[in-house]
Amino acid sequence: MTNRQVWSLALGLLGVTPAGVASQENFGSSAAVLGNQVAVGQPANFYGPGAVYLFGVDDDGSWQEVGRLFSPDSAMADGFGRSISGTPERVLVGAPRDGGAGTAYLFQAPASPAGDWTLLARLPTVEGGGSEGFGSAVALGGEAAIVGAPDAKEGGAVYVFDLSGGGSTQVLEPNGMDGAGFGTALSVEEGVLVVGAPAANGQAGAAIVYRRGDDGAWAREAVLSPEGEAAGFFGAAVHISDGRAFVGAPRGSRGIGAIAVYEQAGDGWTFQGRLTPEGASPGAGFGTAVQTVAGEVWVGAPGGGGGDGVVHRFSPESDGTWAHSGTVLADSANTAAWPFGFGSAIASGEEVAVVGMPRRD
């Protein structure tokens, strides 16, 4: 049995496409698992504004489209769906080209399965008045809606909106990292936030760790810098899980890509090692996406596999390291003249994993 079959059976690796869409281009650019539903972003196409498609399981176990989300201010090329983060109760969607500066939209789940998601809040950039890329990355953490604006002045910004009723907004800044792309990637877990700044230090990259204090304010805890060959757009993807931070550098390791692993140790973070793919070549983009899936680490290499794209799987070893344990492949061979981009986005829940393939049409 192939790895593709193993994961299709065990975790429900999805193969879904939107119904009634003239062009599926960019469908799968982002994804999130919302309990028993899956949200898939299509931030741009030739025929309309961006959208987020919702899929659920029907009685015979197959996945079907159950709804769509749009920006109430929808317009061509608004980028709605570029980023998605959510829970069974809420979903946060980024639209980084909306109105020029960008917007994020917070939706509430319906009270019944037959209902529609409703708009809770429209989160605009605080400063506005320019192309900030606000909404390029989003994350929901407890009562915080976190939005990245990597094109904001002074190297980018991250906005933290308090959803508990206080209405406060905290702006995190890269502090001296001009042109860093700070806010390109976000991941949050239990009061710890990791922010990717892949253009920092001449595109070597960096990732910055913040911790939420008892007063609700977020304070910088550490700056993670690439170790050795991990330099190369380090911070393009970040993921935090069980006290470990995984940072993608898709241009590292002589252009093949790498994942750097850090572990929380007391008040700091220590480098634990690098994940590198087997059999990959320069341009694979390994590290474009990273996610933990059922105890493993999955890493997207959308330029690998001869144009299809590949997801590499790593399993934990008894000594705390990670070993390459296989690959997940696209569901069909690429006969087109362009790469499919399988592995551009990865999301997971308790029983399902989703891999985006945004350039298959």
| Sites in the chain below the pLDDT cut of 50 | 1-13, 22, 334-335, 337
Rg of the chain, C-alpha, whole Å = 19
> What DSSP line would sit under 130-159, residue for residue?
S---TTSEEEEETTEEEEEETTSGGGBEEE
Q: Are residues 237 and 343 in the same domain?
A: yes
**What is the identity of the amino acid at 37?**
Q
In a domain, 8, yes or no: no
Domain boundary among the residues 133, 154, 173 is at 173
In a domain, 218, yes or no: no
In a domain, 294, yes or no: yes
Residue 130 confidence (pLDDT) = 63
Residue 63 confidence (pLDDT) = 86
Residue 20 confidence (pLDDT) = 57
Domain boundary among the residues 173, 188, 204 is at 173
Q: Considering its fold, how many domains does the chain have in total?
A: 2
Return d(Cα 322, Cα 315) in angstroms, integer. Answer: 5
In a domain, 25, yes or no: no
Q: How far is CA 4 from CA 135, 308, 312, in A?
A: 32, 14, 11
Q: Are residues 157 and 290 in the same domain?
A: no
Q: Are residues 35 and 165 in the same domain?
A: yes
Domain boundary among the residues 156, 173, 190 is at 173
Q: Are residues 151 and 77 in the same domain?
A: yes
In a domain, 2, yes or no: no
Residue 100 confidence (pLDDT) = 86
Q: Are residues 150 and 237 in the same domain?
A: no
Residue 39, domain CATH: 2.130.10.10
Residue 19 confidence (pLDDT) = 62
Residue 336 confidence (pLDDT) = 53
Q: Are residues 164 and 239 in the same domain?
A: no
In a domain, 40, yes or no: yes
Task: Please give the mean pLDDT across all residues of the chain.
Answer: 88
Residue 17 confidence (pLDDT) = 62
Return d(Cα 301, Cα 238) in angstroms, integer. Answer: 14
Tell me whether strands 218-224 and 206-212 are parallel, antiparallel or unpaired: antiparallel
In a domain, 131, yes or no: yes
Q: Are residues 39 and 169 in the same domain?
A: yes
Task: Provide the domain limits for residue 109.
Answer: 31-173
Pair of tokens at residue 296: 């493993």
pTM for the predicted model, two decimal places: 0.92
Question: Per-residue pLDDT tens for 304-323?
Answer: 988 789 999 999 999 989 99
Q: Are residues 110 and 39 in the same domain?
A: yes
Q: Are residues 36 and 166 in the same domain?
A: yes
Return d(Cα 247, Cα 225) in angstroms, integer. Answer: 10
In a domain, 180, yes or no: no
Q: Are residues 111 and 45 in the same domain?
A: yes
